[in-house]
Amino acid sequence: MADDGMLLNFSIPDAGILNKPKFKGGTWRDRLTAKKAAEHWHNKATGQGPVDKTSTNPNRTELGQRNVPASKSVEQEEAAERPAKRARVGGAFKPTAKPSTDAANFRPHTDSNITKKPGQRSEAPKGGKQIVSSLFSYNPTSTTKPSTKIVFDDDAPVEPSNAPLSSELDTFTSLGLSPALATHLLNKMELKAPTAIQKAAIIQLVKDNSDAFIQAETGSGKTLAYLLPIVQKLMDLSANMKKRKAEEMVQRASGLFAIVLAPTRELSKQIELVLENLLRSAHWLVAGTVIGGEKKKSEKARLRKGLNILVATPGRLVDHLEHTEALDVSNVRWLVLDEGDRLVELGFEQDIQKILGNLNLRMRAKKDDNASIPGLPAKRQTILCSATMKMDVERLGQISLKDAIHIRADPTENDDGTNEKADDQVFLAPAQLKQSYAVVAPKLRLVSLMSFLKRSFFRKGAIMKVIVFISCADSVDFHFDILTSELEGFEKKDADPHQESKGSEEPAQKATKAMAALQSDPTKLTVTYAKSHVLSPKTHDVTAYRLHGSLQQSLRTSTLAHFAKNNEPSVLLATDVASRGLDLPNVDLVIEFDPAFAREDHLHRIGRTARAGRDGRACIFLMPGCEEGYVEILKSDRRDGETGVHIGRQDADEILKKGLITSGVTKDKNAYMDKATDIQLAVERWALASPARLESARRAYQSHVRAYATHVAAERCYFDIKELHLGHLAKAFALRERPSGMKVPGLRTGAGRNTKGAPAKIKGSGDNKKPSSGNAATDPDSNAVEEEAAKMRKAVRAREKFMRHAGMADEFNLG
C-alpha cells in the first residue's frame, strides 16, 4: 500500500499502559505465562524495575504480585501468590475471653524462648508440636468482684466456738471423773478444762448406760468425749473386782471390753495414741489396734496376749472375727462408731451390720454360760459420733442405736437433753477460723500455689505448718516432686551451657540428683518427705510431705508422725485421707487446692486447723466462672450473727505479686508476670527433662479430670466438667500437648462430635464458643458428655467397693 503522507505519533505515558490486558481461554498455566510475559514487556518498555511500595513485604512488585525467581516452577509461583498462614503465637489452646489490657503488652512465649542444654533433645508429645502458651493471655474473667479486700490482721477478735470452757466450776472433776483421772488430765496431758461437747457427753455417759449420738464440730474434742467415760467405767469395774477379790482386778487377760471403729487407718492410729496417753493413769488397762495394711500375724499375736480396748477399721475387724479364734468379744459392753458419716460413705455399712450381729450372738452365748464378770453391765452401750446429721447417718443410727440420747454442744439445750433447734442446726465451721477464697484461672493454678506457699513461709515463725488438699494421689506425687526439686538450679544450668563441661560435681549435688530421680519415678514411692528447694527462703528450710492411700501403711504412719513432731516449717500435700479426725499440732493454714467432693468433706478439711480454740486460716482455690458460685456454700458454713468474720477474696494477680515480688515496690508493674512465666517455663523444662516426670504429669492431669467428674450431684452445678477448660488446665500440669492427644478420661471416642459428623464445640478443642447449654434431650453433645460422666462415677464407685474389700487402695486413694 502506498504511503498517504499521514504520520501517526503514538506516545506511551510514563506510568505505563493503564488498561492491563485480560487473558482468557486456555489453561491456567498458559494464562499465567502470558501474564508474566506481558508484565516483563511492560517493565522493559517503561524502564521500570520491580518497585516495593509496601514496607512490610519486600518481595512484592508495583503490581502487588510477588517477585518470584525465575528458577522456581509454575506450581511454586502459584503457591507464592497465596496468603501466608497465620503464625502461631502465645495462647496454645482456644481463648475463652479477650486478653486484658496488661496481657496485650505482655510478650507471648513460643518455642524460640526455650533454651536447651548442649546435646539435649527436647521430647515432643505424640500429638504434635510442643505448644508453649502465655500465662496471662486469654484467661477467663471473674464473675464476682471483691467488696472489701481481705485483711486478717485487722479483723475483730472472735470468741472461739470449740475452745475449752473457762469457768472455774467447769473442771473434769465436776463432770463425774475420778480425782486420779482428772489429775492426770491436768498434769500429764495439760488439759485444764473440758470443751462444751466434752462437758455434755461425759456427764451423760458416766451416769447413764443408754445409747448416745454425739454431734459436734471439728476440733471440739469428740475423741476424749467418748474415751473418758469408757476409761472411767473400766476403772470403776476394776475397783469393784478388787473389792470382791483382793488378788484380782481388770487386766489384759480379762478380755476385751470396748471397741472403737474408725473409717481410716490414720484416725485409728491417732485414737490409739490418745488412748495410750490416757491409760497411763490406769497402767493395768491395755489398748491396741487392728487396721488394714498391717501384718495379720502380728495382730493375731497381740490379740492372743489380750486387749481391753480395741481400735479397728471395720473391714479388718470383720476379718479377725471370722478367722481369729483368740478374739473374744463376748464381754464387749462399749461400742463406738467414730465419724459415722464417713463410715457410710466408704461403704462399711454391711461390715458394721456383721460386727453388730457377731457381738449380739456371742454376748447372748456368754449370758447362757453364767460366767460373766461381776459388775459388768448387762447391756451394751453404743455411741455414734458424727459432725453431720444426714440421712445415711440416721440409717446407721437406726441399725446400731436403741433409744439413743442426742448429745450436742448447744447453749440453748434444755435440762432434759432435748433441743428445740435440733432440726435447724447444721454442721458449721469454727467461729475463729478465718476463711478466704482465691479466684485463679486454670493456667495460673500451679504458679499461684507456689507463690501462695512462698509468701506463707517467707517470714520464719509466721506460718509453721500448712496442709494442701489435692483431689487424687497422682496429683499429690506430681506436685510433691515439683516442690522438692531444684527448679532454680535448672534455670542456672540452662543459662550457663558450659557449666556441665567442667566435669566435676559436688557430692551434695549428686545426692540431690539421685533423690530427684527417685522421686520422679512413680513406681518407687519410698520418699515421703524432703526439703522443699522451691519454698525454702535463705533464712530457713521448709520440709514438704506427701500422704495418700497408695503409700504403704508403714510409710503413711511414719509420715504423719514425722510431720506432727516436726518443729520447723513444713507443708503436707495430702488427699482426703488426712481430712477426717486427725489432730495435727501447729497447723496454721489449710489450702484446698482442689475443692472437696462434698460440702461435708470441705468442712472436715478446714477443721484440721483452728482446733480447740486456737486460731487458723483456710483458703480454697476456685476457677473463674461457675465455680465462683461455691462461695455461697462457704458463706452458709458460718454462724448467723458472727461479728468480725468475713470470707475474704483474693485474685491470682494479688497472690503472684505478694509471693514473687518480695524486694519492695518495683517500677515495672508487670514484673510479677515475668517471674511467674520463668517459674512456669522452669517447671515445664523440668517435666520434659525426664520421661518418667512427663508420664507422671500426664497421669496427674488425667486423674485430676477423673476426680473432677465425681462431685456430688447437689454441687455439680458449680463443678461442671463440661465447663472445664482442658487445654488451660493441662498447662497447670506442665504439659505442652493438646488434651485430645492424651485421651482425656471422661470423653469417649466420638463423644466430642455432633450428629452431622462435624466437630463439637467443646472447651479446649480449638473453638472459643461454649458448648450448648440447651435441653439435654435435643443436645447430643450434652447427652454424650453427661452419660460419660455418669459412667465414670458409676465405675469409680464399683472399683472403690472392689478395692476396699480386697484390702487395697481405691481409685483416687482417698482412704
- 459 pLDDT band, cuts 50/70/90, is confident
Place of cell 520421661: 691
According to the model, what pLDDT value does residue 697 have?
Answer: 92
H/E segment holding residue 697 = helix 691-708
Q: pLDDT band at residue 134, thresholds of 50, 70 and 90? A: confident
- Alpha carbon distance 451, 747 (integer Å): 33
Q: pLDDT per residue over 75-133, tens digit each?
A: 455 445 555 554 444 444 444 444 444 443 444 444 433 444 433 444 444 445 677 77
Query: Are the C-beta atoms of residues 577 and 264 closer than 8 Å to each other?
Result: yes
**Rounded to the nearest 10 degrees, how much is the dihedral formed by the CA atoms of 305, 308, 313, 315?**
60
Rounded distance between C-alpha atoms, residue 237 and residue 251, angstroms: 11
Q: Lowest-confidence range among 141-155, 166-180, 263-277, 681-695?
A: 141-155
Residue 485 φ then ψ, to 5°: -100, 160
Check residue 583 and give its pLDDT. 80
8 A C-beta contact, residue 668 and residue 437: no
Angle ∠(310,313,319) on CA atoms, nearest 5:
90
**What's the pLDDT score for residue 371?**
59
**Band (337; pLDDT cuts 50, 70, 90):** very high
Task: Give me the pLDDT at residue 170, please.
Answer: 67
Distance CA 814, CA 579 (A): 9
Instruction: Scan for cell 551434695, then name that residue.
Output: 508
Express each pLDDT in 138-161 by its tens digit: 888 887 765 544 444 444 556 676
C-alpha distances (whole Å) from 388 to each of 237, 410, 427 are 33, 14, 6
Residue 60: φ, ψ to 5°: -95, 145
| 3-class state of residue 68 by DSSP | coil
- Radius of gyration from C-alpha coordinates of the chain: 35
- Across the range 15-42, mean pLDDT stands at 74
pLDDT at 21: 65
Q: How confident is the model at residue 217 (pLDDT cuts 50, 70, 90)?
A: confident
Residues 561 and 678 sit within 8 Å (Cβ to Cβ):
no
Q: What is the rounded distance in angstroms from the CA atom of residue 800 to the CA atom of residue 547?
A: 19
Helix (H, G, I), strand (E, B) or coil at 587: strand
Q: Residue 433 and residue 608: Cα distance in Å, rounded?
A: 11
pTM of structure = 0.69
Q: Which residues pair with 759 in a beta bridge?
A: 753
For residue 688 the three cell numbers come to: 520434659
The mean per-residue pLDDT over the stretch 187-198 comes to 87
Interatomic CA distance for residues 734 and 737, integer angstroms: 9
Look at 159-168, 229-238, 308-317, 398-407 and tell me which has the smallest mean pLDDT.
159-168
Tell me what the pLDDT averaged over the chain comes to: 75
Q: Pick the residue with more confidence: 787 or 767?
A: 787
Judge contact between 378 and 210, C-beta under 8 A.
no
Q: Which residue would you say has higher pLDDT here, 218 or 341?
A: 341
Average pLDDT over residues 382-390: 83
Q: Residue 493 half-sphere exposure, CB side, CA atoms within 13 Å? A: 18
Half-sphere exposure of 327 (CA within 13 A, CB side): 24
The larger pLDDT score, comparing residue 335 to residue 808, is at 335
pLDDT exceeds cutoff 60 at 275: yes
- 283-330 pLDDT, tens per residue? 999 999 999 888 899 999 999 999 999 999 999 999 999 999 999 999
Smallest CA-to-CA distance from 180 within 223, 228, 224, 241 is with 228
Q: Compute CA distances 450 → 275, 535, 680, 705, whole Å.
A: 38, 7, 10, 21
Instruction: Single out the residue of 434, 487, 463, 442 nearest to residue 652, CA to CA.
Output: 442
Domains of the chain with CATH codes: 28-80 (no CATH), 177-408 (3.40.50.300), 433-495+505-671 (3.40.50.300)
> Rounded CA gap, 334 and 321, in Å?
17
pLDDT at site 369: 60
- Please tell me the predicted confidence (pLDDT) of residue 425: 44
| Residues 104, 670 contacting (CB under 8 angstroms) | no
* Identity at 654, one-letter amino acid code: E
Least confident span in 14-18, 161-165, 320-324, 569-573: 14-18
Q: What φ, ψ does residue 76 adopt, rounded to 5°?
A: -65, -35
If one counts every other C-beta atom within 10 angstroms of the C-beta of residue 805, the result is 12
Per-residue pLDDT tens over the stretch 601-645? 888 898 888 877 788 899 999 999 999 999 988 888 776 544 445
For range 790-802, the mean pLDDT: 66
Lowest mean pLDDT among 68-77, 97-106, 253-262, 551-560: 97-106
Would you say residue 507 has pLDDT above 70?
A: no
Neighbours of 229 (CB within 10 A): 26
User: Can you read off the three cell numbers belonging to residue 266?
Assistant: 490414720
- The pLDDT confidence band at residue 509, using thresholds 50, 70 and 90, is very low
Of 668, 669, 657, 689, nearest in space to 114 by CA: 689
Q: So what's the pLDDT on residue 227?
A: 95
Best mean pLDDT range from 123-127, 493-497, 810-814: 123-127
- Strands 529-531, 543-547: pairing kind: antiparallel
pLDDT band at 505 (very low <50, low <70, confident <90, very high): very low
Please tell me the distance from the alpha carbon of residue 698 to that of residue 126, in angstroms, as a whole number: 12
